[in-house]
Structure 1
Amino acid sequence: MPSGLVALLDDVSVIARTAAASVDDIAAAAGRAGSKTAGVVIDDAAVTPSYVTGLSPARELPIIWQITKGSFFNKLVILLPGAILLSEFLPWAIIFILMLGGAFLSYEGAEKVIEKLGGEKHGKTVEDVITDPAAFEKQRIAGAIRTDLILSAEIMAITLAELDLDNWWERGLALALVAIIVTVVVYGSVAIIVKLDDIGLAMTRSGSQAKRNFGQWLVDSVPTLLVALSFIGTIAMLWVGGGIIVHGTHELGFDLFYDIAHGAEYAVKGATGALSGVLGWLTYAAISGVIGLVIGAIIAFVLHKVFGFEGAH
């Protein structure tokens, strides 16, 4: 075999091994970074079922599919290129974008709390008489995709911050991998959650008595589960939104929120022994949520009372 061909094949094998190593590095980095987004992923899964609660069961999966496509577009078409460009050319701007997202989440969560406490409603809800179901469905889908954009931005930002890859294309592949996995997991879980009652109903019609009893339990439990998830979703908006603001203001040199939240966290950790980790984290999350609620309520007041903005959920 000519020596030139041998050298060429050797070069190709080196390139192939390097590429394989890069793929391994990207996958490993994506896994490590993706694990840091677990809290936001849970928030996303908790928020989404509220957008189909009370609507026609026949429209639940089509609506979730529309939201899923919107989520893929958010992550892969809008946020992924933006994240790469920002990390390359304007890394200082990322914190401001995140804080805008945190303020939006705080506003959304605070408005839901205000409405539950008897405050004025803005936009149609499932408790209202819906005269145009198609338009209302589009409104709900748009609201879900809008909220997903903010949560997805947080997921992508956390992932980007955790990546230790030097090349922009490696960071891009890792971000894309995390985006695809997170979207499939979140909206696959949501689809299962909202169809649990249908699954339970099918189980009540055949099989053993134990199977029928379990099916009936599912049917009876799903309404409570969806209400609970809606509540968790609201809390999640405030917690994540407030947490972004706490972290962002600290990064910008304003430490009041950060000192309050982390000071309380460390105090609880120091006083609770074996449960210090869990209780400390819960304390930090609770204070972040309160900060998010206050800031969100101020934003809602300014938008609705000062500027007369009528939002739509």
Structure 2
Amino acid sequence: MAGASLLTLIDDIATILDDVSVMTKVAAKKTAGVLGDDLALNAQQVSGVNADRELPVVWAVAKGSAINKIILVPLALVISGLANWLVTPLLMLGGLFLCFEGVEKLFHKFFHAEKHIHHDPKKLIGQDESKTLEVLEKEKVKGAIRTDFVLSAEIIVITLGTVATATFTQQILVLTGIAAVMTVGVYGLVAGIVKLDDGGLYLASCKGKNLVAALKRKLGFGILWFAPHMMKTLSVVGTAAMFLVGGAILVHGIPMVHHTIQHISNGISNGFLHAVMPTLLDGVFGVIAGIAALMVMLAAKKLLKIIKAK
């Protein structure tokens, strides 16, 4: 009897794991787009630090991302079970935050470049350079973890939607699996991207007159040429991703806007434009929402200054 019970238990566990595997694959496909945006945003966020601090910064952000998911997974399960109606509003707040961050970044870059003078260690009086760089590094880490929190929340909510009808145990296993895979996958790739130039430098410095050494040097110089261009591209893609992801979250939470965009897209006969138009319009809506949020924030800051002055 005991042997039969054990075999039954093993069979049940195998069935659960098989179901979990299938649901995890479905969830991974649905969150693949967010994963790409997460990768671009985080590669952009951790770029620009000293070469010897790149991996420690990536590791710090990865730990922060893991903590984000440790918070988000149980929170998502609790909200889904007790207050399912809260999921969409909270997700929309996160989407609005992404749009706001994107517009704020562009606003400061094009209109308030002089305010970034504090980023130059030599301009700071009374602080040594090492302390200044440490402060800037902490700011980068905090910004990256903050952005990761929003994207992680979207990944968790999308995953939760794919396992809504599954058992509670299966939901926990799938959410935990996706959270772990996404964290390791994203920050493993980010680490590879930020150290790409170091790999190129290593190959370019290879010595020898044989064909293999010559090919290594050519590959190294090619990587050194390519790496800065890729980082600039990731910077642009990362900012664009803020509007595309944030805008998509907001659009899907506002039925009237969502239906309007679908109606516009359905009226386009060109196959390529029909496919990309919803994403582009999501991005446009994200820019508009980000501008509105920034204007509200600036107005609130001015109002607070006036109140304090009185």
Change in Cα spacing, 1:197 to 1:103, as seen in structure 2 (3 Å) is same
**What residue in structure 1 maps to residue 141 of structure 2?**
141
Offset, 1:169: 2.1
TM-score by length of 1: 0.88
Higher mean displacement: 285-294 or 162-171: 162-171
- Counterpart CA distance in 2 for 1:54 and 1:153 is 26
Determine which of 96, 117, 125 is the counterpart of 1:103.
Answer: 96
Offset, 1:121: 5.6
- Counterpart CA distance in 2 for 1:289 and 1:143 is 21
Q: Please give the secondary structure, in 1, of the residue aligned with 2:267.
A: helix
- CA offsets 1:53-104 (integer angstroms, 9 cap, x no match): 22201111100000001111111x2100001111111111100110000100
Determine which of 274, 278, 281 is the counterpart of 1:284.
Answer: 278
Q: Is the 8 A contact 1:29 1:164 kept in 2?
A: no
2:98 is equivalent to residue 93 of structure 1: no
**What residue in structure 2 maps to residue 220 of structure 1?**
225
Q: Is the 8 A contact 1:238 1:289 kept in 2?
A: yes
Change in Cα spacing, 1:247 to 1:66, as seen in structure 2 (3 Å) is same
- CA offsets 1:266-301 (integer angstroms, 9 cap, x no match): 223xx12xxx2x532321111111101111111111
What is the letter of the counterpart of residue 171 of structure 1? Q
Q: Please give the secondary structure, in 2, of the residue aligned with 1:216.
A: helix
Q: Is the 8 A contact 1:44 1:148 kept in 2?
A: yes
- Counterpart CA distance in 1 for 2:237 and 2:152 is 18
- Residues 42-57 of structure 1: matches in 2 within 5 Å? 42-57=36-51
Q: Is the 8 A contact 2:23 2:174 kept in 1?
A: yes
**What residue in structure 2 maps to residue 303 of structure 1?**
297
**What residue in structure 2 maps to residue 230 of structure 1?**
235
Q: Is the 8 A contact 1:52 1:60 kept in 2?
A: yes
Q: Is the 8 A contact 1:88 1:168 kept in 2?
A: no
What is the letter of the counterpart of residue 128 of structure 1? H
Offset, 1:8: 2.5
Change in Cα spacing, 1:198 to 1:70, as seen in structure 2 (3 Å) is same
- CA offsets 1:83-141 (integer angstroms, 9 cap, x no match): 1111111111100110000100110111123234x22369858x931341111111110
Offset, 1:165: 4.6
**What residue in structure 1 maps to residue 215 of structure 2?**
210
Could you list the structure 1 runs, at least 4 aligned residues long, displaced by more than 4 angstroms after superposition: 121-125
**What residue in structure 2 maps to residue 4 of structure 1?**
none
**What residue in structure 2 maps to residue 267 of structure 1?**
267
Identity of aligned residues (%): 34
- Counterpart CA distance in 2 for 1:124 and 1:79 is 33
- Counterpart CA distance in 2 for 1:212 and 1:305 is 55
Determine which of 240, 248, 264 is the counterpart of 2:253.
Answer: 248
Offset, 1:148: 0.0
- Counterpart CA distance in 2 for 1:128 and 1:23 is 50
Q: Is the 8 A contact 1:86 1:94 kept in 2?
A: yes
Unaligned runs of 5+ in 1: 1-6
Determine which of 11, 15, 31 is the counterpart of 2:5.
Answer: 11
Change in Cα spacing, 1:44 to 1:153, as seen in structure 2 (3 Å) is same
Change in Cα spacing, 1:147 to 1:52, as seen in structure 2 (3 Å) is same
- Counterpart CA distance in 2 for 1:85 and 1:285 is 31
RMSD between aligned alpha carbons? 1.9
- Counterpart CA distance in 2 for 1:137 and 1:217 is 29
What is the letter of the counterpart of residue 93 of structure 2? L
Q: Which has the higher helix share?
A: 2
What is the letter of the counterpart of residue 220 of structure 1? W
What is the letter of the counterpart of residue 246 of structure 2? G
Offset, 1:307: 2.2
Q: Please give the secondary structure, in 1, of the residue aligned with 2:254.
A: helix
